[in-house]
C-alpha cells in the first residue's frame, strides 16, 4: 500500500510517500522562514499556497518513477492530510490540496490529527506497544497516554507551547526564527542561571520563565548563562511530568515527538530519567520530529487500513483539533 501525506499546519509545507511494503518514507519539505519576527499566519499561508503544489508535485513525480500497483497509475491508495491543530489559513490550503488530489486520483481521503501523528511516528518507528508520548513542539507541549480507545492528555502547558516560548525569548534578543537551535548552541558555553520552575501536578507553565529570562538578559546576565538556565529549567519540568506520567500509567515506554525534540539536552535528560527507572526511551530521527508529512502518511496508512477515511463534505479542517477528540481505530481494542 502507498499513501501520500500532506502537512502544512504552520511552517513546513511538506508532502510524503509512504510504502507499507518497504516501510520507506520519502519526504519533500519547503520551510517558511520569516524575514523578521515569528511565524506570521498570513505570510505562512502565502508560503503554503506556493510551496504545497511544488512539494506535492515532487512526491507525485517520485511515485511515478517507483513501482506501485494501484488503479490510479501512480500506485497511490489514499491521500492523508493534517486536519489540525494549526493555523487556520495554512490548514485550509492543505485541506483544499488534499481534497483536490484525492478526487483527481479517485482515492479515499484520510484526515489526520497532527499531534497524534507526532506520537504515532514514534510508536511506529520504536515498535513500542503502548508508550506515553511527550509532544514537545512549537505550538504545543503535552503528555499523551492511551486508554480505552483514545489518547488522553495526561498533562499539558497552561499557556504557550514549549518551542513558541523559546522563540519568544529569542525574538526579545533580536535573533531570527527559529530560536530553539540558537539557544541550544549558546547554552553549551553557559553556566546555569536560576529561573522559576513551574509544575502544577501534571501541568506546567512557561510564561513566567520567559519573562524572567528576558529580564535577566536585560539586567546584564550573560546570554549564554540564561540560555543554559532556560534549557535546564524547561527540560527538567518536561522530564518531571514525563516521569510522573510513566509512574501514573504504569507504562515503561516513553516516546518523544515535536520539533523541540531535536534538542540533544532534552533527549539526554529524558533518556537518563528512563534509564534510572528501567523504562525504554525512543526519539525519532530529526526529520520525523519536526513538522513533516512522513508522519501524516504513516498514520494515514494505519487509518486507511482499517477504513478510517473521510468523505469530502465532512473533511473541514479544525485549527483547535485536540488529540483526545480522535477515536483511535487503528490499534485494535486489546491494547490499553
Residues forming the site for ligand ATP (CB under 6 A): 9-11, 86, 114, 137-140, 161, 163-164, 166-167, 178-181, 184, 258-260, 262-263, 290-291
Task: Please list, in sequence order, all residues whose beta carbon lies within 8 angstroms of the beta carbon of residue 211, skipping any fewer than 6 positions away.
Answer: none
Q: Provide the minimum distance between the beta carbon of 259 and ligand ATP in the complex, in angstroms, as a whole number.
A: 2
The set of cell numbers assigned to 330 is: 487503528
Q: Provide the minimum distance between the beta carbon of 95 and ligand ATP in the complex, in angstroms, as a whole number.
A: 16
Q: Which is nearer to ligand ATP, 76 or 204 (CB)?
A: 204
Sign, Cα dihedral of 183, 284, 281, 121: positive
Distance CA 87, CA 100 (A): 20
Distance CA 104, CA 22 (A): 26
Q: Provide the minimum distance between the beta carbon of 86 and ligand ATP in the complex, in angstroms, as a whole number.
A: 6
Q: Are 269 and 303 in contact (CB under 8 A)?
A: no
Q: Provide the minimum distance between the beta carbon of 313 and ligand ATP in the complex, in angstroms, as a whole number.
A: 26
Q: Provide the minimum distance between the beta carbon of 34 and ligand ATP in the complex, in angstroms, as a whole number.
A: 12
Q: Which is nearer to ligand ATP, 63 or 133 (CB)?
A: 133
Q: Which is nearer to ligand ATP, 107 or 254 (CB)?
A: 254
Distance CA 302, CA 3 (A): 10
Q: Provide the minimum distance between the beta carbon of 56 and ligand ATP in the complex, in angstroms, as a whole number.
A: 19
Q: Which is nearer to ligand ATP, 167 or 243 (CB)?
A: 167
Q: Which is nearer to ligand ATP, 179 or 323 (CB)?
A: 179
Distance CA 201, CA 320 (A): 24
Residue for cell digits 506520537?
119
Residue-by-residue DSSP string for 176-191: PSP-HHHHHHHHTT--
Q: Which is nearer to ligand ATP, 74 or 183 (CB)?
A: 183
The set of cell numbers assigned to 233 is: 529549567
Amino acid at each position: 500500500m502507498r499513501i501520500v501525506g500532506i502537512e502544512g499546519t504552520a511552517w513546513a509545507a511538506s508532502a510524503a510517500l509512504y510504502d507499507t511494503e518497504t516501510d520507506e518514507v520519502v519526504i519533500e519539505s519547503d520551510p517558511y522562514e520569516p524575514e523578521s519576527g515569528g511565524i506570521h499566519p498570513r505570510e505562512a499561508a502565502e508560503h503554503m499556497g506556493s510551496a504545497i503544489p511544488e512539494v506535492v508535485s515532487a512526491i507525485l513525480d517520485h511515485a511515478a518513477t517507483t513501482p506501485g500497483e494501484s488503479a490510479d497509475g501512480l500506485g497511490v491508495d489514499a491521500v492523508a492530510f493534517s486536519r489540525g491543530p494549526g493555523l487556520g489559513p495554512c490548514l485550509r490550503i492543505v485541506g483544499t490540496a488534499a481534497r483536490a488530489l484525492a478526487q483527481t486520483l479517485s482515492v479515499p481521503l484520510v484526515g489526520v490529527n497532527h499531534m497524534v501523528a507526532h506520537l504515532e511516528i514514534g510508536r511506529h518507528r520504536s515498535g513500542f506497544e503502548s508508550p506515553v508520548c511527550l509532544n514537545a513542539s512549537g505550538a504545543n507541549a503535552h503528555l499523551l497516554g492511551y486508554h480505552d480507545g483514545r489518547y488522553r492528555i495526561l498533562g499539558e502547558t497552561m499557556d504557550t507551547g514549549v518551542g513558541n516560548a523559546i522563540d519568544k525569548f529569542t525574538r526579545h534578543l533580536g535573533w531570527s526564527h527559529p530560536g530553539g537551535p540558537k539557544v541550544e548552541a549558546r547554552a553549551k558555553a553557559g553556566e546555569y542561571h536560576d529561573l522559576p520552575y513551574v509544575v502544577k501536578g501534571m501541568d506546567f507553565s512557561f510564561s513566567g520563565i520567559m519573562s524572567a529570562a528576558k529580564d535577566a538578559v536585560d539586567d546584564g546576565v550573560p546570554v549564554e548563562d540564561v540560555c543554559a538556565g532556560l534549557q535546564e529549567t524547561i527540560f527538567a519540568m518536561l522530564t518531571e511530568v514525563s516521569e510522573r506520567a510513566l509512574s501514573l500509567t504504569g507504562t515503561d515506554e516513553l516516546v518523544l515527538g515535536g520539533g523541540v525534540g531535536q534538542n540533544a539536552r532534552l533527549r539526554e535528560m529524558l533518556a537518563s530519567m528512563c534509564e534510572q527507572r528501567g523504562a525504554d526511551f525512543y526519539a525519532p530521527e530529526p526529520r520525523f520530529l519536526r513538522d513533516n508529512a512522513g508522519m501524516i502518511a504513516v498514520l494515514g496508512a494505519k487509518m486507511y487500513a482499517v477504513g478510517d477515511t473521510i468523505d469530502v463534505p465532512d473533511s473541514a479542517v479544525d485549527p483547535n483539533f485536540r488529540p483526545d477528540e480522535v477515536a483511535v481505530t487503528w490499534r485494535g481494542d486489546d491494547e490499553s
